[in-house]
């Protein structure tokens, strides 16, 4: 075939555009559909772990691989779903991060969302549910925020790490969880930050949302969403944002602790927390939030001294309903660790018990509101 001159090439292209067709000519690049921009922020954990050998599934060093290396390992496939940039926030186990670190992470995510369509955060799974709920309560943008990690390090046979990271980027780029707040994506399952919890120390299907159920799944190219968090009802409204704007809070956040109840539990833990200056305490109670007589007496004394309590169940599911008891707020079905975060942020905003109660009954319960007919 005779080689086209530059003039012929230009003319051929113009004719093709006029006819509304796509033509390829020698030396011409085919048009590429732009893909969404996704920022991947690495904080460490098992997903970035390096094993001693390819079958040391539990014997490994976490927080060794940089997030840039992990994303590079997913190329060229990941480039077809997103334009990915990376940022190394940290590289350690999730349990090693402080509330001050969480605060910086929120600022990092907010900043990334200004120039990207979505954000993926990689973390260790031990406290991933707390990472997720914190971001759910504090990130101001309604763009997708996806957390992922793995139960096996990057370098072992059968690792879930690369698939989880790829699927998280795929989910983020799809935009399908806009206004969902923060969600988790592991083991092909999509879970809401408020409900999800780690249920097994070692299994890859460890994350569950209990009776609420998963939001949906990622099945290769298909993303299926079967339900949505309640806050999606406020999508597009100012009320979608939670009241917890960290930029408007003081540098020092309140101290909130957790006290676990059991048979004949003493009240010393609650007294010690109160004496040490705790602003709030969450009780992980038996059944529907019950605490031992000794803990109950210690709680009454602490309430008199201004300590606010949130009552939760240690069972892992079910609700503790609010009884409007002075100084004690029912935390619905929040886990103790999540109730702690909500109480901490609430106390940073106000000391008005009625307002805190309202936040626990709305943000904490997150039930869908049925419009009146």
Query: SS3 for the chain, per residue?
Result: CCCCCHHHHHHHHHHHHHCCCCCCCCCCCCCCCCCCEEEEEECCCHHHCEECCCCCCCCEECCCCCHHHHHHHCCCHHHHCCEEEEEECCCCCHHHCCHHHHHHHHHHHHHHHHHCCEEEEECCCCCHHHHHHHHHHHCCCCCCEEEECCCCCCCCCCCCHHHHHHHHHHHHHHCCCCCCCEEEEECCEEEECCCCEECCCCCCCCEECHHHCCCEEEECCEEEECCCCHHHHHCCCHHHCCCCCHHHCCCCCCCEEEEECCCCCCCHHHHHHHHCCCCEEEEEEECCCECCHHHHHHHHHHHHCCCEEEEEECCCCCCECCCCECCEEECECCCHHHHHHHHHHHHHHCCCHHHHHHHHHHHHCCCCCCCCC
Q: Looking at the annotation, which residues are catalytic?
A: 46
């Amino acid at each position: 075939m005779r080689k086209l001159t530059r003039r012929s090439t230009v003319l051929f292209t113009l004719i093709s555009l006029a006819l509304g067709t796509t033509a390829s000519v020698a030396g011409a690049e085919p048009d590429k559909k732009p893909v969404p921009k996704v920022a991947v922020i690495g904080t460490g954990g098992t997903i970035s772990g390096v094993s001693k050998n390819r079958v040391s599934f539990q014997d490994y060093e976490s927080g060794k691989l940089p997030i840039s290396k992990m994303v590079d390992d997913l190329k060229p496939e990941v480039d077809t779903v997103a334009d990915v940039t990376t940022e190394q926030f940290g590289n350690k186990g999730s349990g090693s991060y402080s509330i001050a670190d969480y605060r910086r992470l929120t600022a990092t995510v907010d900043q990334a969302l200004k120039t990207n369509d979505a954000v993926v955060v990689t973390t260790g799974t031990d406290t991933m549910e707390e990472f997720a709920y914190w971001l759910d309560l504090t990130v101001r943008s309604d763009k997708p925020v996806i957390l992922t990690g793995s139960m096996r390090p990057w370098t072992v046979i059968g690792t879930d790490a690369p698939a989880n990271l790829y699927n998280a980027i795929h989910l983020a780029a799809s935009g399908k969880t806009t206004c969902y707040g923060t969600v988790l994506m592991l083991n092909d399952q999509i879970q809401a930050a408020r409900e999800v919890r780690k249920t097994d120390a070692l299994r890859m299907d460890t994350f569950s949302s209990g009776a609420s159920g998963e939001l949906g799944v990622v099945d290769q190219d298909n993303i299926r969403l079967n339900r949505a968090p309640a806050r999606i009802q406020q999508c597009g409204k100012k009320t979608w944002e939670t009241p917890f704007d960290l930029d408007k809070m003081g540098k020092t956040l309140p101290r909130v602790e957790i006290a676990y109840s059991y048979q004949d539990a003493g009240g010393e833990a609650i007294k010690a927390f109160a004496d040490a200056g705790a602003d709030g305490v969450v009780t992980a109670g038996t059944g529907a939030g019950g605490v031992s007589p000794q803990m109950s007496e210690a709680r009454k004394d602490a309430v008199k001294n201004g300590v606010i309590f949130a009552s939760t169940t240690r069972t892992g599911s079910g609700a503790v309903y609010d009884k409007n008891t002075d100084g004690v707020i029912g935390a619905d079905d929040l886990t103790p660790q999540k109730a702690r975060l909500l109480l901490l942020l609430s106390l940073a905003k106000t000391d008005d018990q009625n307002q805190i109660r309202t936040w626990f009954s709305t943000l904490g319960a997150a039930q869908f509101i049925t419009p009146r007919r």
